[in-house]
Amino acid sequence: MKKKRVAILISGRGSNMRALVEAARAPDYPAEISLVLSNRPQAAGLAWAKAQGLATALVDHKAHADREAFERAMQTTLEAHGTELVCLAGFMRLLTPWFVEKWQGRMLNIHPALLPLYRGLHTHERAIADGVKVHGCTVHFVVPEMDEGPIVEQETVRVRDDDTPDALAARVLEQENRIYPRALALVAGEQVVVRGNRVLMREGREPGAPTRAGRSPSS
């Protein structure tokens, strides 16, 4: 199967972008990273992607009159690079239904919590404050409602008694960096189908079953 052309959208550090880029170097990975796009000129991930020789683009939201103009500019850039799938990786702009619908079923996001718990920001602080024992991360298809949409992959992380939001965030991020490449492989490799709110393995295999490459227990 031909590799899918993937654009990664970032706003900052870009550790998830790096994880995807590194996974996509494997000859049998079903996706290639054809563009890294940032909405912020100073995003550290953008400099890293440039240094790797990847195609990069800056679409600065501040340089556009409104959200629609910004999204139209992103859309033009994505189309110019022959984008087939979009991965949001720490992309911190809300997207309009117009843009989301253009990429329906072809755009993934990673969120630092076990959705549908803890949508939005400050997920680690809120998890600790609530006293939950298990936290984690989610890769899901993007729908117009923020932090909703069919779940492709999740991983759990135990909350420790002495956890701080930063310590917990670091352990969750390690798992994010593992599940995002796995989720993208499932989608780009057309190994999954979406049925309503559920993402199911083709051929009746269960998501999370040990047939998936690279699975390991949560930390």
3-state secondary structure of 172: helix
Which residues form the interface with ligand GAR (CB under 6 A)? 10, 12-16, 45, 89-90, 110-112, 173, 176
Nearer to ligand GAR, 45 or 150 (CB): 45
Nearer to ligand GAR, 119 or 160 (CB): 119
Nearer to ligand GAR, 16 or 34 (CB): 16
Smallest distance from the beta carbon of 153 to ligand GAR, in angstroms? 13
Smallest distance from the beta carbon of 15 to ligand GAR, in angstroms? 3
Distance CA(127)–CA(168), nearest Å, equals 10
Q: Which residues pair with 198 in a beta bridge?
A: 151, 195
Nearer to ligand GAR, 126 or 201 (CB): 126
Smallest distance from the beta carbon of 68 to ligand GAR, in angstroms? 21
Which residue's beta carbon is nearest to the bound ligand GAR?
90
Q: Of residues 61, 64, 111, 135, which has the active-site annotation?
A: 111
3-state secondary structure of 150: coil
Smallest distance from the beta carbon of 33 to ligand GAR, in angstroms? 14
Q: Are 142 and 149 in contact (CB under 8 A)?
A: yes
Burial grade of 210 (CB within 10 A; 0-12, 13-18, 19 or more): exposed
Going through the chain in order, the beta strands assigned E by DSSP cover 4-10, 31-38, 56-58, 85-88, 107-111, 134-141, 151-158, 192-195, 198-201
122 is catalytic: no
User: Catalytic residues, which ones?
Assistant: 111
